[in-house]
Each structure stands twice: as structure tokens, then as C-alpha cells.
Structure 1
Amino acid sequence: MAKHIIGSTRELIPGQKKIVSLEGISIGVFNVNGSYYAVKNSCPHQQAPLCVGKVSGTTLPTKPGEFKYGREGEIIRCPWHGWEFDLTNGHSLFDPNRCWVKTYEVEVGQAEEEAPKLETFPVDVEEERVIVTINR
């Protein structure tokens, strides 16, 4: 299991998303009200780029004749056919036990300080001359 740093929490504020490619897999990382979730950027219906779809809320269970809207920012809608998925667990809203999108674990931690990388070049000494070789 490889871990990949995709950015800082300052870059991914609540309501924002970032689509990244990790190990050849397109993944959307979402900040939902301060919690982070990652889902595969592929709708299971016809492999549309799910993470470019609209993020919104949904209607909630209520008594007949009532209308209640909630879960703002937790639901993603496929841009091609409107299939909706819960970003917090990947399950579809219409059939959560049989249709879902792949999710990935997200951690928020202290970034280790990376030492600046210095570009180096091969050096040879020939007949008391120092020669630097640059291969591009």
C-alpha cells in the first residue's frame, strides 16, 4: 500500500476537489465539510469521469407530503447520466447495496520537511582538467 501526498489542506478547502492520477488511476479527492474523501474518477455505469460531476446534497427521508433537503456537499452526480453517489462511502443513492464507486483511504498528517534537491552532474578528471558532463 503506497501513500501519496497530493497537496496541503490549505489547497483543498471545504467544498473543493482535486483530481489526481496515482499509480495510473484517476482519483478525485474531496473536502466535505472539513473531512476528506477519495473516489475513483469513473462512474460504474459507463465509466464517465465521475469527479467532474456536480457535488450537491439530496432529499432526505420524510413523512408523506414533506420535503427536506440535506447532506449538502456529500453527493456527487455523474455528468453523463445523473447517477448519484455518496462521497463519504461510495454507495449509490438508488441502489446502495449493489452499486458503488471505489473509495480510497485519505489521511491528513504533518508533512515531513523535504530537503531541497540539488541537481548534480558527472565530473571527470582527464590530464589535470576537470570536465563536467551534461546529458539532457
Structure 2
Amino acid sequence: MSKHIVAPVTEFLAGTHRLVHVNGRPIAVFNVSGEFFGIANACPHQGGSLCDGHLGSLVTSDAPGEYRLERKGEILRCPWHGWEFDIRSGQSWCDPARIRTRRYQVDVKEGSELVKGPYVADTFPVSVEDRYVVIEV
């Protein structure tokens, strides 16, 4: 798999998210308390934008009328129909054995590491033919 630089960390304050496009794929990137997660932006139910969804907590209960909130900011709810996904694994809470959304590995790298590589920039051959500039894609 190839790695792509999408933005400086300063553009992702804790608790924020952003839609990025990598090789034509829309990916929702979330910063949860300094930890970064990437999820395919389309809900597997009917394609709702997960980047427009709400990050909440997991609600657990040991008895009727009692509940507690756990894993703050790690459960993503689709804005269209409320389907919930674990942003760590991509698994759904409605049917975790069968339904999930794609999860992408997101890392934070120092600028000095990026300069060393092994990253490859997209380049395109350019030639001049009879006074026309031609780019090969």
C-alpha cells in the first residue's frame, strides 16, 4: 500500500475531523484526543457521509435503568439513519459480524522523516512536439 500526506497535524485540532481524498477515495479522518483514525466516508447502509456523522460514546448497562458511557468519542453515528461504527475497527454495532466500514491506517510522521522517504511523488512525462506541450497521464 502507498502512503499519502494529507495535511499538517495543526489542521486537525483534538476533537475535529476532516474529509480528505486519496486516489479518488473519500476518507473521513478524525482526531480523538490526539489519536487519529480514518474511515471510508460512505456508510455501508445507504451511503451517508460518515464525515458528517456524530462521534459519541459507547453506552453500556449492567441492569435496567442503569447505564454508563465508555470509549468517549470512539463511536461514529451515521447522520442519515443512525447506524453506529467503531472508529478503531470499522465494525458496526447493529451487526458486527457482518457489517463494517473500511478503516484506513493513519499515522503522524515528523517532517524530517518524510523528507527521507521512501515516498514517491506522482510525476508525469512532459514533451514538446511541434510547439505543443503534451502531458502524459
Q: How far apart in 1 are the matches of 2:69 and 2:8?
A: 31
Aligned residue runs from structure 1 range 33-72, under 5 A? 33-72=33-72
Structure 1: state its 5+ residue gaps. Answer: 114-132
Aligned residue runs from structure 1 range 48-127, under 5 A? 48-111=48-111, 112=114
Q: How far apart in 2 are the matches of 1:75 and 1:33?
A: 14
Q: How far apart in 2 are the matches of 1:103 and 1:23?
A: 15
**More helix by proportion, 1 or 2?**
2
Instruction: Select between 81-90 and 7-16 the one with higher mean Cα deviation.
Output: 7-16
Q: How far apart in 2 are the matches of 1:12 and 1:20?
A: 12
Structure 2: state its 5+ residue gaps. Answer: 116-130
Match of 1:10 in 2: 10
Offset of 1:30 from its aligned partner? 0.6
Q: After the TM superposition, which segments of 4 or more aligned residues of structure 1 sit over 2 Å from their partners?
A: 61-65
Q: Rg larger in 1 or in 2?
A: 1
The residue identity in structure 1 corresponding to 2:79 is P
Give the TM-score taking structure 2 as reference length.
0.77
Q: How far apart in 2 are the matches of 1:62 and 1:95?
A: 21
Match of 2:32 in 1: 32
1:56-104 deviation line (CA, Å, top 9, x unaligned): 1131242333111222211111111110111111111121111110001
Q: How high is the sequence identity, in percent, across the aligned residues?
A: 41
Instruction: Kindly indicate whether the alpha-carbon contact (under 8 Å) linking 1:51 and 1:76 is maintained by their aligned counterparts in 2.
Output: no
Task: Give the aligned CA root-mean-square deviation in angstroms.
Answer: 1.9
The residue identity in structure 2 corresponding to 1:22 is V
Q: How far apart in 2 are the matches of 1:31 and 1:6?
A: 14
Q: Secondary structure at the match of 1:51?
A: helix
